[in-house]
Amino acid sequence: GGSGDAGSTGAKDDGKITMGFAQVGAESGWRTANTKSIQEEAAAAGVDLKFSDAQQKQENQIKAIRSYIQQKVDIIAFSPVVETGWDTVLLEAKRANIPVILTDRAIDSDDTTLYKTFLGSDFVLEGKKAGEWLKENAAGAKNVVELQGTTGAAPAIDRKKGFEEAIAGTDLKIVATQTGDFTRSGGKQVMEAFLKSVPQIDVVYAHNDDMGLGAIEAIKAAGKVPGKDIKIITVDAVKDGMTALAAGEINFIVECNPLLGKQLMDLSKKVLAGEEVPPRVVTEETTFTSEQAKTELPNRKY
Ligand code: GYE
């Protein structure tokens, strides 16, 4: 922290930046890759990283942020588990003159002075890409079941929204939707229940690879063939997802890039140097079909 060395913004006596990072949890392959990227890039940038895992609970993240404020870190970065309920703690950071950067997920607040910038994907666009592919590539399919991410999380809200926009006015319909909390076990459990209660399922739209992989287990256990009897679309494109895509068990994946570490360190340095940063930094992403996954898989880093 910057305590005691008057006149300097952010740097301690040794000149090192201290960052407090409040991570969501370790719920998915995406999250594991994201954590690794932040830790590695902090080390490469000479940033002293204090890292906490909130186990997908907002109260834990709020506690972690408060402790970073008490420790007088130079900058706080976090990936908000849900969109709402952040104003109080972020106001505390602001009053303590500690800048905040949102990474990966956005918050829903009218007060945009509570953070310097938001670095992450366009989740509505991801949902749209999923819906567009389905419209064009699944002739005859009608009934979609949706495995939602964590309730109240930006990627769950936005991936649903974008997908619904894309399939509006077509024969495709979401006939059942429930959260699987972005985990493999959650996806499996919800899919088991859907297979029992929904008479005809043509498509699974899972908000991430892990829930899609859990759904595959449930579909196989029910004696059906994933990717054939039931089409599967997911978001993320982590290695396990890409492997299932190459094998034809998943039909389409919308990429979401977890490697945000380098950009986060660069933005933090700029903020602490008093430089202007854009209020929103969007990461660039693509999509993969089964054929493309076969080519890409050997190069996949996470
Ligand atoms: O898609 C999912 C993870 O916030 C973009 O969180 C992230 C999402 C990602 O658990 O796998």
Which DSSP state fits 207?
A: S
Of all atoms in ligand 1, which is nearest to the CA of residue 238? 11
Given this model, what pLDDT does residue 8 score? 44
Q: Ligand 1: list residues with CB < 6 Å.
A: 27-28, 30-31, 104-105, 155, 182, 208, 235-236, 256
Per-residue pLDDT band at 150 (split at 50, 70, 90): very high
Of all atoms in ligand 1, which is nearest to the CA of residue 27? 10
The arithmetic mean of pLDDT across residues 65-82, rounded, is: 98
Model ipTM? 0.99
The arithmetic mean of pLDDT across residues 241-249, rounded, is: 98
If you measure from the C-alpha of residue 209 to the centroid of ligand 1, how many angstroms do you get, rounded to a whole number?
Answer: 9
Given this model, what pLDDT does residue 139 score? 86
Task: Specify the pTM.
Answer: 0.94
Distance of CA 230 to the CA centre of its chain: 25
If you measure from the C-alpha of residue 208 to the centroid of ligand 1, how many angstroms do you get, rounded to a whole number?
Answer: 7
Given this model, what pLDDT does residue 35 score? 98
Q: Which residue has the tokens 């370790």?
A: 26
How far apart CA 206 and CA 159 sit, in angstroms, is 9
List the one residue out of 52, 53, 45, 51 whose CA is nearest residue 17: 45
If you measure from the C-alpha of residue 102 to the centroid of ligand 1, how many angstroms do you get, rounded to a whole number?
Answer: 14
Q: Token digits for 124? A: 């509505």
Strands of 64-179, DSSP E: 75-78, 100-103, 117-120, 143-148, 173-179
